Amino acid sequence: MSFDAVVVGAGPGGAFSAYWLAKNGLKVLLLEKKRLPRFKLCGGCLSARVVSLLPEGWQGLIKAVIREGTLGCRGEESFSLSSEKPLAYIVDRAEFDYFLVQNAQRVGVELWQECELLGFEEGERIKVYTSKGEVEADFLIGADGFYSKTADLLGYKKKKFFRSLEFQCLTNLKEGVRIDVGLVERGYAWVFPTNVGIASTGKENLLELLKDYSTKLGLKVEGKVYGWHIPYLENKKDFHAGRGRILLVGDASNSVDPLLGEGIYYALWGAKNAVQAILNCPNNPVEEYFRLSKPMIEELVYAGRIAKIAYRFQRFSYNWGKKGALKAYYRLLRGEESYKKLFFKAWLHLI
């Protein structure tokens, strides 16, 4: 069978890439190895700036509107700051991702679920080997997440990532999120309205820390505690763009915020860049993809600079948050500020 493009992985990066390709007239196959809607471990927190990228109808998926943030230190002391305008929205990832896939199907994307990418062969056209047979395409987008087979086959290795644990739990936060620093060397713990978790780049015993943290906050670790990895990008070279007519998007490309591990926004942004690159330069989209992604990469690099300082001096960061940094971060979540501006404002003591 023949397609213009094959997209691997029906998370936000893949569903969004498939949507934009089909919307621009390409014949698209979307492969997903699981049956949809599928569980995806995630806090499900969409910063308010994501909204401008989302298709109509997403509002029906909102579980909570976040208008208050609490910054804590070690699950002990904390302070809260509210915002009139929404800062973020909590969604269920199984529902959210499936909504994006259905949106792609509506513009003609063909979905093969319970179908795994097994390999590919580059040539005049790309031969794509799947668990349901062989197809041919001009372009391949690998949006197959942290353990991306596409990235692996291109020879990329993941070097920078958070290890994370999370359990689902209806917390007493209805319109708020809480983030605690000071528990791990580089990373944080969180309480969202529907889940509690911890992420770290180090080798600490995260399960013990998560249990202690939950107990301190009066939350019971109930049900299964799930673990997954979150990649991040803090240098230009961490961006795994792909090769030739094979492009990587989302976690597969490491496009995740190194400060807090926010990945959905960058998966959607990267998907738009990848599709635009294919439309602009069908013969060598990967270079164009890199060029179009420069603003996104720069944003993540500045987030990385802030992360390095914030995690090295966690007590200072906590106090700095109180003095004004949290308020400034709210502007970023709402899309009114960039990490680059935040970084320079902090440098010039304007925050």
Which residue's CB is nearer to ligand FAD, number 192 or number 311? 192
Q: The tokens 């997954």 sit on which residue?
A: 228
Report d(CA 126, CA 135) in Å as an integer.
8
Closest to ligand FAD by CB, 209 or 351: 209
Min CB(17)–ligand FAD separation in Å? 9
Q: Minimal distance in Å, beta carbon 20 to ligand FAD?
A: 14
The three-state secondary structure class of 298 is: helix
Provide the residue type at 85 as one letter. Answer: K
Residue 48, SS3 per DSSP: helix
Consecutive H or E run containing 91: none
Nearer to ligand FAD, 256 or 300 (CB): 256
| CB 184 to ligand FAD: min, Å | 14
Count of helix runs (H) and strand runs (E) in the chain: 10, 19
Residues 299, 44: Cα–Cα separation, whole Å: 21
CB of 349 to ligand FAD, least distance (A): 30
Task: Tell the smallest beta-carbon distance from residue 177 to ligand FAD (Å).
Answer: 9
Which lies closer to ligand FAD via its Cβ, residue 43 or residue 304?
43
11 vs 72 by CB, closer to ligand FAD = 11
What would the two tokens of residue 76 be?
A: 């002990």
For binding to ligand FAD (CB under 6 A), which residues are involved? 8-14, 31-34, 38, 40-45, 116-117, 143-145, 149, 164, 166, 197, 228, 230, 250-252, 256, 261-265, 267
Residue 55 DSSP label: P
Taking the CA atoms of the chain, what radius of gyration do you get in angstroms? 20
Shortest distance (Å) from residue 233 CB to ligand FAD:
11
For residues 196 and 351, which CB has a smaller minimum distance to ligand FAD in the complex? Answer: 196
Task: Name the packing angle between helices 285-292 and 294-312 (round to 10°).
Answer: 50
Least Å from the CB of residue 44 to ligand FAD = 6
**CB of 192 or CB of 351, closer to ligand FAD:** 192
Give the residue closest to ligand FAD by C-beta: 263
Smallest Cα–Cα separation from 255: which of 288, 296, 289, 292? 296
339 closest CA partner among 43, 331, 74:
331
